[in-house]
Structure 1
Amino acid sequence: MLFASFSRRAGLMRPSLRRNCPPRRTIIPAPGPNTGPLMERRADRELPSVNQGRRWTRTLPIFVVAVGAAMLGIFNYQKSSSSVVNSTLYALRTSPQARELLGDEIYFAQQIPWISGEINQLHGRINISFWVKGTKSQGKMRFRSIRPDRMSFFHTEEWSLETEDGKVVQLLSDNDPFRQ
């Protein structure tokens, strides 16, 4: 009798009787979306279901568009804060022709300006345009300057202001602030 009780506790029962016994630990389901956190880890718990659908195929185009928009914004911010844009804006503010057309307080026309064109000082190419406004009206300022070779200075080819009605005023003159 003592041997029988000892053998049941030790799990030494006959194989035919062992098959009918329920397992001691049950398999618990994986945590659901509205259940609390899993407080203990058990090796025999049910694994979470794996989505067979490819959700990334829907989110990849959104990611690409978001990264592209961020890159355009960053590059435009880099252009708008460059010394070339600041210098042309300053020269535009001090130009008597531009003040006559636009008025006082000349600045970017939009709160977030869009600088079109290229600023490549390393290779000697600057070709930009952006909208500016004053107290009287607004217009599109264009500035183009090149550096023929590595050891020479930049030469301004165009610095003009196009008003909203289509009138183009060339701002390069004998007292040009860009020519020295």
Structure 2
Amino acid sequence: MILPRAKRRVGAPRLPIFPRHVQPPRRNLIPAPRQNSGPLLERRSDRELPSVNSNRRWWRTLPFFAVAVGAAMLGIFNYQKSSSSVVSSTLYALRTSPRAREILGEEIYFAHKMPWISGEMNQLHGRIDISFWVKGSKTQGKMRFRSIRPDRMSYVR
């Protein structure tokens, strides 16, 4: 019986076959470049990896990062409150109120360039209790607005 020969595909790479007792040639690893050792002109894929610094300097910056993220969150949430329709409507109502114009004067607006809106503004559940500082041409004062909707289908009080 004749066994068919395995045909080699044209263009397929041939791998070198080494006997079991002979190791394939190895390239020696070169050390990683050190600091101030000059420009790296050649990069080899089999070079030694640089040593990992085990010092934890980033632990010192973690509190600063947490404070910065917290301050950014507070600023974003406050900006969301200050640009809401509830705040705009209360400012409009304050500007058109004769009693408020008598106390504060004309040109009623926020007391500061970046107003701080304190309190809860939960329009979904019908709970709004906010306060912020306003000023007019005469004086300034703290404006407080409170609105409660007892249940889903009732009107706001």
Shift of 1:26: 8.6
- Correspondence 1:1-180 to 2 at 5 A: 27=30, 29-30=32-33, 32=35, 36=39, 38-43=40-45, 45-155=47-157
Change (3 A) 1:49 1:85: same
Shift of 1:35: 5.2
Q: Give a deviation string over 1:63-90, Cα, whole Å, max 9, x none.
A: 1111111110010000000000000000
Gapped runs of 5+ residues in structure 1?
A: 1-23, 156-180
Q: Distance in 1 between matches of 2:50 and 2:108?
A: 62
In the superposition, the TM-score normalised over structure 2's length comes to 0.74
Q: Give a deviation string over 1:10-66, Cα, whole Å, max 9, x none.
A: xxxxxxxxxxxxxx9894552537955x44312454532321111231122111111
3-state DSSP of counterpart to 1:123: coil
Q: Which amino acid aligns with 2:102?
A: E
Change (3 A) 1:26 1:128: closer
| Displacement over 3 Å in runs of 4+ | 24-29, 33-36, 43-47
Number of residue pairs aligned between Structure 1 and Structure 2: 131
Q: Which amino acid aligns with 2:144?
A: R
Q: Distance in 1 between matches of 2:151 and 2:99?
A: 32
In the superposition, the TM-score normalised over structure 1's length comes to 0.66
3-state DSSP of counterpart to 2:151: coil
Q: Distance in 2 between matches of 1:34 and 1:86?
A: 63
Q: Distance in 2 between matches of 1:139 and 1:34?
A: 67
Matched with 1:10 is none
Q: Distance in 2 between matches of 1:33 and 1:89?
A: 63
